[in-house]
Amino acid sequence: MKTILLKFAGPLQSWGTDSKFETRHTDRFPSKSGVIGILSAAFGFKRDDDANIQKFNQLDYAVRIDQEGELLKDYHIAQKHNKKGAFDRSYVTNRYYLQDAVFTVALGHEDEEWMASIEKALRYPYFQPFLGRRSNPLTADFFIANNDSDVMTNIENLKWQASPWYKRKYKVDKLTIYADANLIEHGSISMVRDRVLSFSQRERKHGFRPIRRKCVPVIDDIAVEDHNAFDSF
């Protein structure tokens, strides 16, 4: 069993599983379909390459909220033109983002050769991967590790990935994990619509995926102390 650990951080992220027309929502943590989009871009798959893209649904998936982001609403005015290129009308769009959020994502599978190819694609992507929208690129330190053992063991035992300022401000004892329902033994099951059937621009299709929630203790062996600007004097 191999598990890849990734860190999603940056000024803005957006993970919408329920966006329609002029309103583009974001979930509070990365969706599996969004991560599959990152993998598809890294491999260079076209949007209508359903067979290769759907295979990523087989990956075990878990996400840990290391640093909760603040919700940001971005206001846009867009213009629509007709087929001849002439102005038709203007309309308002509302787009939502998470700002200053940090997440740990774990992907796992028993096929070690496949996992090695996924790691290579992530390190040397064909298309630029991004955090839900093209304006939000991945940070340079997004790849954490490729380890043996299962997804939950890896994500539960990884050190807290939050920013130093966040650790100083918030005294967090537990972190929340959302994972494929079969990876967590106990707890209620929720259904989320992020099982990828097709990314085709003609007709995007998503199915439902069962998930469970689990809280785990924070692991952080580095003491976070308040900074004193006069220590150097």
Q: Which residues partner with 93 through β-bridges?
A: 76
Q: Is 231 part of any domain?
A: no
Predicted local confidence at residue 132, as pLDDT: 86
Q: Could you say which residues of the chain have pLDDT below 50?
A: 224-227, 229-233
Predicted local confidence at residue 230, as pLDDT: 43
The token duo for 169 is: 């401000």
Predicted local confidence at residue 20, as pLDDT: 61
Q: Is 54 part of any domain?
A: yes
Q: Is 227 part of any domain?
A: no
Instruction: Name the phi and psi angles at 103, rounded to 5.
Output: -130, 150
Pick the closest to residue 67 from 104, 17, 26 (CA basis).
104
CA 44 – CA 178 distance, rounded (Å): 28
CA 186 – CA 171 distance, rounded (Å): 27
pLDDT in tens, 58-116: 999 999 999 998 888 887 777 778 888 887 777 777 888 889 999 999 999 999 999 99
Helix (H) or strand (E) holding 108: strand 87-109
Predicted local confidence at residue 213, as pLDDT: 96
Predicted local confidence at residue 231, as pLDDT: 43
Predicted local confidence at residue 220, as pLDDT: 86
Q: Is 81 part of any domain?
A: no
Contact 132, 29 (CB under 8 A): no
Contact 184, 212 (CB under 8 A): yes
Q: Is 211 part of any domain?
A: yes
**CATH code, domain with 177:** 3.30.70.2660
Predicted local confidence at residue 185, as pLDDT: 93
Q: Which domain holds residue 63?
A: 2-16+28-69+99-217
Split into its structural domains, the chain has a count of 1
The token duo for 231 is: 């220590």
Q: Is 47 part of any domain?
A: yes
Predicted local confidence at residue 88, as pLDDT: 79
DSSP state of 58: G
Predicted local confidence at residue 180, as pLDDT: 97
Q: Is 136 part of any domain?
A: yes
Q: Is 88 part of any domain?
A: no
